[in-house]
Amino acid sequence: MEVCEESEGARTAAQRRAEIRRRKLMQNSEDRMKKIVGFSQPEDSSADRSARSALEPRFHLDLERHEPWSGSAKRLSPHPAETDRSASEAAGEEDSPRELPASPRRGLKKYLSRLDDAMKLRGHLAGEKPAPDRAGTEPDDLDAFCLFRLAASVALALFVRIFVCQYLSIFAPFLTLELGFMGLHKYFPKVCLCFGTDNVEKKSQATVLTAALLLSGIPSELINRSMDTYRKMSLVFSDLCVYFFSFVMCHELLLLCGSDGS
Amino acid sequence: MAAGFNWFLVLSCVFLCNLVKTLLPSISSFLSKIFHKDADQETEMRTEIQNMRMELSSINMMDEFARYARLERKINKMTDQLKTLVKSRTAQQAKMKWIVNIVFYIAQAAVMISLILKYYADPVTVVPSKWIAPLERLVAFPSGVAGGVGITCWLVVCNKVVAIILHAIS
- Nearest 10 degrees: CA dihedral of A122, A127, A131, A132? 110
> Looking at residues B28-48, what average pLDDT do you find?
84
Mutant choice from A134, A146, A193, A248 vs B, greatest count of B C-beta within 10 A = A248
8 A C-beta contact, residue A48 and residue A41: yes
> Looking at residues A30-46, what average pLDDT do you find?
60
Mutant choice from A170, A175, A253, A254 vs B, greatest count of B C-beta within 10 A = A170
Q: Would the CB atoms of A171 and B135 count as touching at under 8 Å? A: yes
Instruction: Return the ∠ at Cα A24 (arms to A23 and A28), rounded to 5°.
Output: 120
Q: Would the CB atoms of B131 and A245 count as touching at under 8 Å? A: no
> Count of CB contacts below 8 A, A vs B?
64
Cα(B57)–Cα(A207) distance, integer angstroms: 46
Which pLDDT belongs to residue B120? 87
pLDDT tens digits along A52-88: 444 444 444 444 444 444 444 444 444 444 445 554 5
pLDDT tens digits along A8-23: 666 688 888 888 888 8
Considering only CB atoms, A238 lies closest to which of B18, B164, B170, namely B164
Taking phi first (over 0 means left), then psi (-120 to 50 degrees means alpha), and beta for anything else, what does residue A12 get? alpha
Which pLDDT belongs to residue B142? 85
8 A C-beta contact, residue A54 and residue A77: no
Helical H runs in B36-150?
Answer: 39-58, 65-118, 136-140
8 A C-beta contact, residue A246 and residue A158: yes
3-state secondary structure of A197: strand
Which pLDDT belongs to residue B16? 92
Confidence of residue A206 (pLDDT cuts 50, 70, 90): low
Q: Would the CB atoms of A136 and B130 count as touching at under 8 Å? A: no
Looking at the predicted structure, is the pLDDT value of residue A100 above 80? no
Sign of the torsion formed by the C-alpha atoms of A239, A241, A245 and A248:
positive
Looking at the predicted structure, is the pLDDT value of residue A137 above 70? no
A136 in contact with chain B, both atoms CB, cutoff 8 A: yes
pLDDT tens digits along B52-77: 999 888 888 888 888 899 999 999 99
Distance from CA of B164 to the nearest CA of A (A): 6
Tell me phi and psi for residue A135, to 5 degrees. Answer: -75, -35
8 A C-beta contact, residue B7 and residue B149: yes
> Looking at residues B100-127, what average pLDDT do you find?
91
> Looking at residues A215-223, what average pLDDT do you find?
83
Tell me phi and psi for residue A73, to 5 degrees. Answer: -65, -35
Closest-CA residue to A244 (of B22, B147, B161):
B161
Which pLDDT belongs to residue B83? 92
Residue of A nearest to B162 (CA): A136
Helical H runs in A41-95?
Answer: 46-50, 80-89
Cα(A175)–Cα(A187) distance, integer angstroms: 20
Q: Between these two residues, A86 and A163, which has the higher pLDDT value?
A: A163
Which pLDDT belongs to residue B78? 92
Which pLDDT belongs to residue A107? 72
Considering only CB atoms, B167 lies closest to which of A134, A241, A248, namely A134
Q: Would the CB atoms of A244 and B18 count as touching at under 8 Å? A: no
8 A C-beta contact, residue B116 and residue B141: no
Chain B residues whose beta carbon lies within 8 Å of the beta carbon of residue A238: 160, 164
Q: Would the CB atoms of B163 and A248 count as touching at under 8 Å? A: no
Helix axes A144-159, A220-261, angle to 10 degrees: 40
Q: Between these two residues, A105 and A232, which has the higher pLDDT value?
A: A232
> Looking at residues B26-46, what average pLDDT do you find?
84
Cα(A73)–Cα(A88) distance, integer angstroms: 14
Helical H runs in chain A?
Answer: 2-37, 46-50, 80-89, 96-127, 144-159, 171-184, 208-215, 220-261
Interface of A with B in 28-57 (CB under 8 A): none
Which pLDDT belongs to residue A124? 64
